[in-house]
C-alpha cells in the first residue's frame, strides 16, 4: 500500500471528521463547548490557509472574524433580521470587504502584506471599540443562534446539537477548500505561491488571482465569525483584536501551513492546551508560547507538514527513482 | 512580413545606457540569434521585448500594433513568450503539471473553480504533447526539484512553448549545460515549429551559426552589426570587436 501525499492528507481529515462526530455527543457538556470552539477556530484557520495557498500570509485575519460576527450580530440584534438571512449577508460583506481591502493589500506581499492586513484589522477593531451602535468596548449580548429545528430537528441552543452543527460546518468548509485547491483556480494559486513571476510571464494576472483568494478567504473568515458569535452569543471588539490574528496564525503554522487539515489539528490543540493550561496555571499563555516554540523547532513544517514529508521520504527510499504523483 | 519591430528603443540604469537606439525588425517565421559580449544588453533587450522592463523611450510593435505600454502579462496574452536564463519553474510540481499550468493559463482555463483540473483531459493531452516536443515525456511525472539541470532547461523552453507564442524568446537555452545536454538542446531548438518567430540569445557559436537565419550583434547596448550568418562571419567590425582579432569565436571551433 502506498498512498500519495494528498490521499494521506485527506485520510487524516476524514478520520478527524468521523471521530469528532462520533465522540463529541458522548462527552460532557463542557467538552462539547470545547468541540464547538475548536471547530469554529478550525474554520477560521482554513480561511487563512486558502489565502496562504497563493503565498500570502495575513496578520489581520481577525478583521474578517470580527466583521462576520458584527455583521451577523448587528443584523439580528439591532435590525431583528432572521438569523438565516443574516448569515448570508455577513458572508457577502466578507467578500465585498475582502475585495475592497484586497485591492490595496494584495499588491504587496511578505512583510508589507502582514503590515497592511494588520493595519486594516486594527482599523476595524478601533472602530467597533468606540462605536456607540455596537455599544463600544462593553460589547453587546443577546446574539441568537440559527433556528434549524424545523429543518433538521437540531435545537442549536443545546450544547450537543450546536457542537455537532459546528463540526458539520467545519467539514463543509474543509470540503470547499479542498475542492477549490484541486480546481484550475486552486492549482494556479499554488503555482503563484511557488513562483509568481513565472505566472505573470505565462500570462496569468497574479493580482486578480490573489484578490479572488483574499475575497474567498474573507468569506470563510466572516463565516467563522458568524459561528463564533452564535457560540458566545456575545459581540465584543476582542473578536477583531490582533491577538486573535496571532492565534490563528500560530494554529496554521503549528498544524502545517498549506495542508488545510493541519489548521484543524492546530485549532483542536490550541483549544485543548488553553483549557488544561489555564485551569492549572495563571500565566498559561507563557506555557502555551513555550510549547509552540518547541513544536516549531522540532517540526519546522508543522505537525501535518512534517508528517507528510516523513511519509514522502519513506516512499522515496522504497521506490527509487522517486516519482511524484501527477496532479494534472 | 514583420511580426515584431523595435524603434529607437532606449533603456538606462542610472547613467549606464544598456540599450541605445535599438531599431530592429523580426520577420514572421524567421529565426534570429542575438550575440554579443557579456554586458552587451542582450537580456535587457529581452526584458524590454517581454515587458519585464519598460523602455525609457522608443517603441515596440507586434504585428504593427504599439505594445510599448503593455505589461508582461498582457504581452504574454498577445503572443510573446520567453524562457529565462536562470531556471524559473514551479519547483514543487511535476514536469507535466508545470506544462499543464502554462497550458491552462494560455487556454483561459486557469480561473475556473467549479471543476477539478483533472477533468480537463484536453489540457493533459496538450501538456503531454509539449513534453514530447521537448523530449521530456519520460520525465513527465518527476517533480522539478528532482529533475536534472539539463532537463530543467528543457522544461524552461517547454513552458514558453506551451504559451503557443507568435514570438518565442529563448535566453541562453544552453547556459550551464554539459556537452551532451547542449547537443539535446541544440536538437530541440532546431526542431522548433517553423511558424514561430524565434529569437535566441546564445553564446555557443556553432548553434548560432546553424540555427539563425539572421544574427544581430549587440555591443554596449547598440546594434553593432546584423546580417546572415555568412555576413556576420565576414564582417570586419564583428571580427574586431567580438570574435577576436584572428576571426575566431571565443570558445568555439573555427567556422
Give which of A59, A37, A40, A34 is closest to A48, Cα–Cα.
A59
Which positions in chain B touch A187 (Cβ < 8 Å)? 97, 101, 104, 110, 117
Q: Which residues of B98-121 are buried (b: 16+ CB within 10 A; e: fewer)?
A: bbbbbbbbbeebbbebeeebeebe
Which positions in chain B touch A186 (Cβ < 8 Å)? 113, 117
B251 within a domain of the structure (yes/no):
no
Per-residue pLDDT, averaged over B210-225, amounts to 93
The pLDDT tens digits for B144-194 are 999 999 999 999 999 999 999 999 999 999 998 999 999 999 999 999 999
Residue A23, Cβ neighbours under 10 Å: how many? 11
A120 within a domain of the structure (yes/no):
yes
B33 has which bridge partners? B200, B215
* B96 to A326: CB separation less than 8 angstroms, yes or no: yes
* Burial of residue A286 (number of CB atoms within 10 Å: 0-12, 13-18, 19+): exposed
* B97 to A204: CB separation less than 8 angstroms, yes or no: no
Question: Distance between CA atoms of B98 and B92, rounded to whole angstroms?
Answer: 9
The pLDDT value given to residue B254:
39
Q: What is the CATH number of the domain that holds B127?
A: 3.40.50.300
Is the pLDDT confidence value at A322 over 50? no
A326 within a domain of the structure (yes/no):
no
Label the pairing between strands B2-13 and B57-62.
Answer: antiparallel
Question: How many distinct structural domains can be found in chain A?
Answer: 1
Q: Give the lowest-confidence range in A6-20, A175-189, B64-78, B220-234.
A: B220-234
The pLDDT value given to residue A20:
96
Label the pairing between strands B197-201 and B167-171.
Answer: parallel
The pLDDT tens digits for B194-212 are 999 999 999 888 899 999 9
Range of the domain at B163: 2-243
Q: Give the lowest-confidence range in A34-43, A170-179, A306-315.
A: A306-315
Label the pairing between strands B16-27 and B222-227.
Answer: unpaired
Is the pLDDT confidence value at B143 over 90? yes
Is the pLDDT confidence value at A316 over 80? no
The pLDDT tens digits for B244-254 are 655 444 444 43
Q: Distance from A212 to chain B by nearest Cα, in Å?
A: 10
- Which contiguous run of DSSP H or E holds residue A218? helix A206-232
A196 within a domain of the structure (yes/no):
yes
Per-residue pLDDT, averaged over B9-19, amounts to 93
Give the dihedral sign, CA A134/A78/A217/A220.
positive
Which stretches of A24-82 are DSSP H helices?
A: 29-52, 62-73
* Burial of residue B138 (number of CB atoms within 10 Å: 0-12, 13-18, 19+): exposed
The confidence band for B94, taking pLDDT boundaries of 50, 70 and 90, is very high
Which positions in chain B touch A184 (Cβ < 8 Å)? 104, 109-113, 115, 117, 120
Q: Which residue has the cell 477533468?
A: B119
Greatest pairwise CA separation for chain B in angstroms:
64
The pLDDT tens digits for A256-294 are 999 999 999 999 999 999 998 888 888 888 888 888 888
A316 within a domain of the structure (yes/no):
no
Give me A157's grid cell.
441552543
B64 within a domain of the structure (yes/no):
yes
Give which of A306, A314, A213, A322 is closest to A9, Cα–Cα.
A306
Contacts with B248 (C-beta within 8 Å, 6 or more apart), sequence order: B254, B255
Contacts with B189 (C-beta within 8 Å, 6 or more apart), sequence order: B157, B170, B173, B198, B200, B207, B211
Which positions in chain B touch A305 (Cβ < 8 Å)? none
B65 within a domain of the structure (yes/no):
yes
Contact B93, A6 (CB under 8 A): no
The pLDDT value given to residue A242:
95
A283 within a domain of the structure (yes/no):
no
Give me B179's grid cell.
556537452
* B77 interfaces chain A, CB cutoff of 8 Å: yes
- φ, ψ (nearest 5 deg) of residue A82: -65, 140
The pLDDT value given to residue A319:
60
What does each C-alpha distance from A242 to A18, A61, A120, A197, A294 come to in angstroms?
A: 33, 8, 11, 31, 23
A226 within a domain of the structure (yes/no):
yes
Q: Give the lowest-confidence range in A85-89, A154-158, A303-307, B240-244.
A: B240-244
* B76 to A201: CB separation less than 8 angstroms, yes or no: yes
Per-residue pLDDT, averaged over B27-34, amounts to 95
- Span between the terminal Cα atoms of chain B, in Å: 31
The pLDDT value given to residue A315:
80
A1 within a domain of the structure (yes/no):
no
The confidence band for A194, taking pLDDT boundaries of 50, 70 and 90, is very high
- Which contiguous run of DSSP H or E holds residue A219? helix A206-232
The pLDDT tens digits for A49-106 are 999 999 999 999 999 999 999 999 999 999 999 999 999 999 999 999 999 999 999 9
Contact B114, A179 (CB under 8 A): no
A136 has which bridge partners? none
* B129 interfaces chain A, CB cutoff of 8 Å: no
Cis bond before residue A321 (omega within 30° of 0): yes
Question: How many distinct structural domains can be found in chain B?
Answer: 1
Average pLDDT in chain B: 91
Which of A182, A203, A328 lies closest to B123 in CB terms? Answer: A328
* B113 interfaces chain A, CB cutoff of 8 Å: yes
A91 within a domain of the structure (yes/no):
yes
* B148 interfaces chain A, CB cutoff of 8 Å: no
Contacts with B157 (C-beta within 8 Å, 6 or more apart), sequence order: B83, B134, B170, B173, B185, B188, B189
Give me A85's grid cell.
438571512
Which of B89, B92, B111 lies closest to A185 in CB terms? Answer: B111
What does each C-alpha distance from A87 to A42, A73, A74, A260, B201 come to in angstroms?
A: 18, 10, 11, 23, 58
B130 within a domain of the structure (yes/no):
yes
Q: Distance from A302 to chain B by nearest Cα, in Å?
A: 18
Residue A321, Cβ neighbours under 10 Å: how many? 8
Share of chain A above pLDDT 90, in %: 81
Any idea what DSSP says for residue A158?
Answer: S
Which positions in chain A touch B158 (Cβ < 8 Å)? none
- φ, ψ (nearest 5 deg) of residue B181: -65, -40
Give me A327's grid cell.
496532479
Residue A137, Cβ neighbours under 10 Å: how many? 12
Residue A49, Cβ neighbours under 10 Å: how many? 28
ipTM of the complex model: 0.90
Range of the domain at A159: 27-241
Amino acid at each position: 500500500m502506498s498512498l500519495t501525499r494528498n490521499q494521506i492528507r485527506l485520510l487524516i481529515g476524514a478520520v478527524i471528521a468521523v471521530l469528532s462526530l462520533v465522540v463529541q455527543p458522548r462527552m460532557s457538556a463542557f467538552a462539547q463547548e470545547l468541540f464547538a470552539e475548536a471547530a469554529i477556530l478550525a474554520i477560521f484557520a482554513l480561511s487563512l490557509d486558502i489565502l496562504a495557498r497563493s503565498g500570502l500570509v495575513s496578520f489581520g485575519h481577525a478583521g474578517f472574524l470580527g466583521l462576520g460576527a458584527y455583521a451577523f450580530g448587528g443584523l439580528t440584534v439591532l435590525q431583528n433580521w432572521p438569523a438565516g438571512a443574516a448569515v448570508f449577508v455577513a458572508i457577502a460583506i466578507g467578500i465585498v470587504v475582502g475585495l475592497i481591502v484586497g485591492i490595496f493589500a494584495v499588491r504587496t506581499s511578505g512583510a508589507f502584506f502582514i503590515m497592511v492586513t494588520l493595519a486594516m484589522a486594527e482599523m476595524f477593531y478601533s472602530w467597533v471599540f468606540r462605536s456607540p451602535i455596537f455599544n463600544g468596548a462593553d460589547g453587546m449580548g443577546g446574539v441568537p443562534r440559527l433556528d434549524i429545528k424545523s429543518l433538521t430537528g437540531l435545537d442549536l441552543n443545546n450544547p450537543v446539537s450546536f457542537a455537532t452543527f459546528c463540526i458539520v460546518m467545519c467539514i463543509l468548509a474543509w470540503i470547499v477548500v479542498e475542492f477549490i485547491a484541486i480546481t484550475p483556480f486552486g492549482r494556479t494559486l499554488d503555482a503563484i505561491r511557488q513562483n509568481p513571476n513565472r505566472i505573470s510571464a505565462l500570462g496569468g494576472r497574479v493580482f486578480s488571482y490573489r484578490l479572488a483568494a483574499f475575497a474567498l478567504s474573507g468569506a470563510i473568515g466572516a463565516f467563522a465569525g458568524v459561528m463564533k458569535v452564535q457560540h458566545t452569543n456575545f459581540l465584543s471588539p476582542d473578536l477583531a483584536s490582533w491577538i486573535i490574528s496571532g492565534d490563528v496564525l500560530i494554529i496554521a503554522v503549528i498544524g502545517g501551513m498549506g495542508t488545510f487539515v493541519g489548521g484543524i489539528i492546530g485549532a483542536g490543540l490550541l483549544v485543548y492546551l488553553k483549557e488544561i493550561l489555564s485551569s492549572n496555571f495563571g500565566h498559561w499563555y507563557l506555557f502555551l508560547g513555550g510549547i509552540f516554540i518547541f513544536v516549531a523547532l522540532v517540526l519546522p513544517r508543522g505537525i501535518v507538514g512534517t508528517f507528510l514529508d516523513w511519509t514522502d521520504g519513506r516512499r522515496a527510499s522504497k521506490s527509487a527513482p522517486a516519482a511524484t504523483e501527477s496532479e494534472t | 512580413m514583420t511580426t515584431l519591430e523595435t524603434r529607437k528603443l532606449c533603456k538606462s540604469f542610472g547613467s549606464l545606457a544598456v540599450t541605445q537606439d535599438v531599431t530592429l525588425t523580426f520577420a514572421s517565421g524567421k529565426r534570429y540569434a542575438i550575440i554579443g559580449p557579456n554586458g552587451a544588453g542582450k537580456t535587457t533587450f529581452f526584458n524590454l521585448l517581454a515587458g519585464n522592463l519598460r523602455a525609457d523611450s522608443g517603441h515596440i510593435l507586434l504585428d504593427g500594433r504599439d505594445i510599448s505600454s503593455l505589461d508582461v502579462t498582457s504581452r504574454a496574452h498577445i503572443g510573446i513568450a520567453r524562457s529565462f536564463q536562470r531556471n524559473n519553474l514551479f519547483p514543487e510540481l511535476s514536469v507535466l503539471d508545470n506544462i499543464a499550468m502554462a497550458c491552462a493559463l494560455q487556454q483561459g482555463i486557469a480561473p475556473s473553480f467549479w471543476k477539478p483540473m483533472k477533468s480537463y483531459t484536453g489540457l493533459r493531452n496538450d501538456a503531454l504533447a509539449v513534453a514530447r516536443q521537448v523530449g521530456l515525456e519520460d520525465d513527465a511525472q518527476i517533480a522539478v526539484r528532482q529533475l536534472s539541470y539539463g532537463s530543467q532547461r528543457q522544461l524552461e523552453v517547454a513552458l514558453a512553448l506551451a504559451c503557443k507564442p507568435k514570438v518565442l524568446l529563448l535566453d541562453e537555452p544552453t547556459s550551464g549545460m554539459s556537452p551532451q545536454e547542449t547537443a539535446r538542446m541544440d536538437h530541440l531548438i532546431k526542431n522548433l515549429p517553423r511558424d514561430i518567430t524565434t529569437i535566441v540569445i546564445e553564446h555557443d557559436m556553432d548553434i548560432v551559426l546553424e540555427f539563425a537565419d539572421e544574427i544581430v550583434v549587440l555591443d554596449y547596448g547598440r546594434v553593432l552589426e546584423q546580417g546572415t550568418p555568412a555576413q556576420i562571419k565576414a564582417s570586419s567590425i564583428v571580427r574586431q570587436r567580438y570574435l577576436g582579432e584572428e576571426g575566431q569565436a571565443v570558445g568555439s571551433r573555427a567556422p
